[in-house]
């Protein structure tokens, strides 16, 4: 570790595999490959920011070029090679930032430089950080050298966006996905740093830092550095002071708001939100924290305090559990949907603060949902479930493989359609031909056309139609047909696709029938007599004089 640095993130940066936290599996795999002399041509480290990608890359470079050999790598007193690599001054270890050198010319210079062997170590190593920033041409120029490099050449890549790297490059590397650091590990780590720095931060303040860092060691150290600089060591950095420093408000206020929403107390609800807003909390941050607490309300019975990533203390955890057990979980799911929708609205409304207030009021006045009284435990769960069922649409029953369910079935019908639906409740559609006649009667010409021309009937039952189709079938056919069948019959129909070809389409049947009719007509004496007078005549179409044949 760099003891000379005054910045905690650099001062306590790991220098050996033993210093790493949370990446034991990765470290063990790399050490075993080095000791067994099965070193890949290229390493690829990927993961979120601040979990050790570039740090591990340097440690790997030191391990490959350590003067003490593979079985006795430097740990405390570094050899010349390890010390130079730590200071980024080793002549055979080149660190390159792909964010500033993205072009194919930069990679060509790298390849040209790779032709010369190492000068003072076993391997020449190229460490390329943020490798996903390279251009497509640069990646292509690197492919051949990456697959078959000289024995002395090794590549180490680091990236936060693995999906932006071509698969052809990833397949030539030994990939390591670095995980977020677990909350308890990160807490113990920064607690030791706090003691070494003689800081006066409480455990609750450190837990808040762990929460805000989201599993990133660098973020946690940077936040700890900021916190220790903000207060004199004589004054303890408690949770309230830490919240002021990081602009983080008390989550117990959100729990209060949930209780007020469920009680229907509008005035106190708005006042509580305005107190949070006056603390300088941005509306989008408030919404994200609101979603987090909503998640805890919904899943509290399957969580422990450790699972909450130190977001809740014992009192808040027990309080959420007590409230959530009195409310049906479907209510929280409904709240979640409204909250997600509000995030989209924030980008439209100029005054986001007012939008949040209206959002909170809408949660109280959801259509068909009467605010339950939290203190009244009589039939609370049953009442909420009945009210919520009026709002929530029911999903269709699961059927067999290849079954197609249409979300349009779940949508509410317009008021004017409802009356018609009731009138059509007894409308029977018992065959494919009757379905086509109803389409004609209801003036659904597009559906009638698709059914006649592009659909092959396999099986028709009451409530279920099995079909095959040709390439010309409209992509919205199933959605439109199921919606209309629901409207006409007031019941849900299942439209499923079959691998069986089925009957030929109605239009094809008409063409075959027309050809047979024309053939029979040409064999008649009348047609032969006409040809005697008009030798160039040809019979192309016959129209029968019946109203049913159109």
> pLDDT, tens digit, for every residue of 214-273?
889 999 999 999 888 887 767 788 888 887 788 776 777 888 888 888 888 888 999 988
CA pair distance 408, 495, nearest whole angstrom: 13
Is pLDDT at 416 greater than 50 in this prediction?
no
The pLDDT assigned to 375 comes to: 45
Radius of gyration of the chain from its Cα atoms, rounded to whole angstroms: 36
| Residue ranges of the chain assigned to CATH 3.40.50.300 | 8-177
**At the topology level of CATH, where does 251-388 sit?**
Zinc Finger, Delta Prime; domain 3 (1.20.272)
- For residue 164, the 8-state DSSP code is G
Secondary structure E strands in 146-235: 153-159, 174-177
Which pLDDT score, from 0 to 100, does residue 390 have? 47
The answer to whether 196 touches 207, Cβ cutoff 8 Å, is no
Indicate the range of 70-79, 138-147, 274-283, 304-313 predicted with least confidence.
304-313
For residue 127, the cross-strand partners are 95, 156
Among 148-152, 402-406, 442-446, 483-487, name the one with the lowest average pLDDT.
402-406
Burial class (CB in 10 A: 0-12, 13-18, 19+), 131: buried
Query: Where in the chain are all domains bearing CATH 1.20.272.10?
Result: 251-388
Over range 296-317, report the average pLDDT. 75
Least confident of 24-28, 205-209, 297-301, 544-548: 544-548
Q: What's residue 280's pLDDT?
A: 76
Of 326-330, 418-422, 427-431, the poorest mean pLDDT is in 418-422
For residue 361, give both structure tokens: 């009021």
Lowest mean pLDDT, pick from 394-403, 468-477, 529-538: 394-403
Q: Where in the chain is the domain with CATH 1.10.8.60?
A: 183-246
- Strands ordered across the beta sheet of 93-97: 93-97, 124-129, 153-159, 42-46, 174-177
Per-residue burial over 19-29, b = 16 or more CB atoms within 10 Å of its CB, e = otherwise: ebebbeebbee
Does residue 294 contact residue 339 with C-beta atoms inside 8 Å? yes
CA-to-CA distance for 313 and 299, rounded, in angstroms?
16
> Residue 410: pLDDT above 70?
no
* % of the chain with per-residue pLDDT over 90: 16
In which element (H, E) is residue 386 found? Answer: helix 380-391
Which CATH architecture best describes the domain 183-246? Orthogonal Bundle (1.10)
Shortest CA distance to 251 belongs to which of 309, 167, 333, 203?
A: 309
42 beta partners: 155
| pLDDT over threshold 70, residue 61 | yes
Alpha carbons 541 and 519: distance in angstroms, whole number: 11
pLDDT, position 545: 60
Average pLDDT over the chain reads 80
- Give the closest residue to 33 by CA, choosing from 72, 65, 60, 53: 60
Instruction: Please state, in angstroms and rounded to a whole number, the distance separating the CA atoms of residues 126 and 116.
Output: 13
Using H for helix, E for strand and C for coil, what is the string for 492-532?
CCEEEECCCCCCCCHHHHHHHHHHHHHHHHHCCHHHHHHHH
CA–CA dist 269, 272 (Å, integer) = 5
Q: How confident is the model at residue 3 (pLDDT cuts 50, 70, 90)?
A: low
The answer to whether the CB of 173 falls within 8 A of the CB of 143 is no
Is residue 439's pLDDT more than 70? yes
Q: Give the pLDDT confidence of 4-29 residue by residue, as tens digits.
A: 667 898 889 998 998 899 889 999 99
Output the pTM of the full model.
Answer: 0.58
pLDDT digits 0-9 by tens, 469-508: 887 888 788 888 888 888 888 888 888 877 777 777 777 7
Q: Does residue 155 contact residue 173 with C-beta atoms inside 8 Å?
A: yes
pLDDT confidence band for 420 (50 / 70 / 90): very low
Structure tokens at 409: 């079935």
- pLDDT over threshold 80, residue 305: no
CATH no., domain 8-177: 3.40.50.300
| pLDDT at residue 399, as a whole number | 39
DSSP H or E run through 358: helix 352-364
Report d(CA 190, CA 310) in Å as an integer.
14
H helices of 41-156, in order, are 53-65, 80-86, 104-113, 136-147
Mean pLDDT across the stretch 57-83?
Answer: 86
């Amino acid at each position: 570790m760099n003891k000379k640095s005054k910045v905690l993130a650099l001062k306590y940066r790991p220098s050996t595999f033993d210093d790493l936290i949370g990446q034991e599996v990765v470290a063990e795999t790399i050490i075993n490959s080095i000791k067994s002399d099965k070193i890949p041509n290229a390493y690829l480290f990927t993961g979120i920011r601040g979990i050790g990608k570039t740090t591990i890359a340097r440690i790997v470079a030191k391990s490959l070029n350590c003067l003490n050999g593979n079985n006795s790598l430097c740990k405390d007193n570094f050899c010349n090679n390890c010390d130079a690599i730590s200071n980024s001054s080793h002549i055979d270890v080149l660190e390159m930032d792909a964010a500033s050198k993205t072009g194919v010319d930069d990679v060509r210079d790298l390849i040209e430089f790779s032709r010369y062997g190492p000068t003072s170590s076993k391997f020449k190593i190229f460490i390329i950080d943020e490798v996903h920033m390279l251009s497509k041409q640069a990646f292509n120029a690197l492919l051949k050298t990456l697959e078959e490099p000289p024995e002395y050449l090794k590549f180490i890549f680091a990236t936060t966006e693995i999906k932006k790297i071509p698969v052809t490059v990833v397949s030539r590397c030994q990939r390591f996905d670095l995980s977020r650091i677990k909350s308890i590990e990160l807490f113990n780590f920064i607690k030791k740093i706090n003691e070494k720095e003689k800081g006066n931060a409480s455990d609750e303040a450190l837990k808040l830092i762990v929460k805000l860092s989201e599993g990133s060691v660098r973020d946690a150290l940077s936040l700890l550095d900021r916190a220790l600089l903000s207060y004199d060591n004589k004054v303890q950095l408690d949770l309230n002071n830490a919240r002021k420093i990081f602009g983080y408000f008390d989550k117990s206020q959100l729990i209060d708001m949930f209780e007020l929403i469920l009680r229907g107390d509008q005035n106190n609800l708005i006042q509580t939100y305005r107190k949070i807003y006056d603390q300088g909390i941005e509306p989008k941050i408030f919404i994200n924290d609101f979603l987090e607490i909503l998640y805890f309300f919904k899943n509290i019975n399957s969580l422990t305090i450790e699972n909450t990533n130190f977001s809740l203390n014992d009192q808040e955890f027990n309080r959420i559990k007590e409230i959530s057990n009195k409310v049906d979980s479907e209510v929280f799911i409904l709240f979640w949907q409204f909250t997600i929708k509000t995030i989209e609205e924030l980008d439209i409304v100029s005054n986001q603060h007012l939008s949040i207030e209206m959002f909170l009021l809408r949660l109280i006045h959801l259509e068909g949902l009467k605010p339950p009284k939290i203190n009244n435990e009589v039939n609370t769960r049953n009442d909420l479930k009945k009210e919520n069922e009026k709002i929530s649409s029911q999903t269709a029953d699961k059927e067999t493989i290849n079954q197609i369910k249409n979300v349009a079935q779940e949508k509410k019908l317009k008021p004017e359609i409802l009356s018609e639906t009731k009138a059509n409740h007894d409308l029977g559609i018992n065959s494919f031909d009757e379905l086509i006649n109803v389409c004609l009667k209801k003036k659904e010409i597009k559906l009638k056309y698709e059914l006649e021309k592009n659909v092959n009937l396999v099986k028709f039952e009451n409530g279920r139609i099995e079909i095959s189709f040709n390439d010309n079938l409209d992509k919205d056919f199933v959605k439109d047909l199921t919606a209309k069948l629901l409207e006409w019959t007031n019941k849900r129909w299942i439209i499923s696709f079959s691998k069986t070809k089925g009957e030929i389409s109605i239009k094809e049947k008409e063409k075959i029938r027309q050809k047979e009719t024309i053939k029979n007509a040409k064999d008649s004496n009348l047609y032969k007599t006409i040809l005697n007078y008009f030798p160039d005549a040809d019979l192309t179409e016959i129209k029968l004089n019946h109203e049913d044949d159109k």
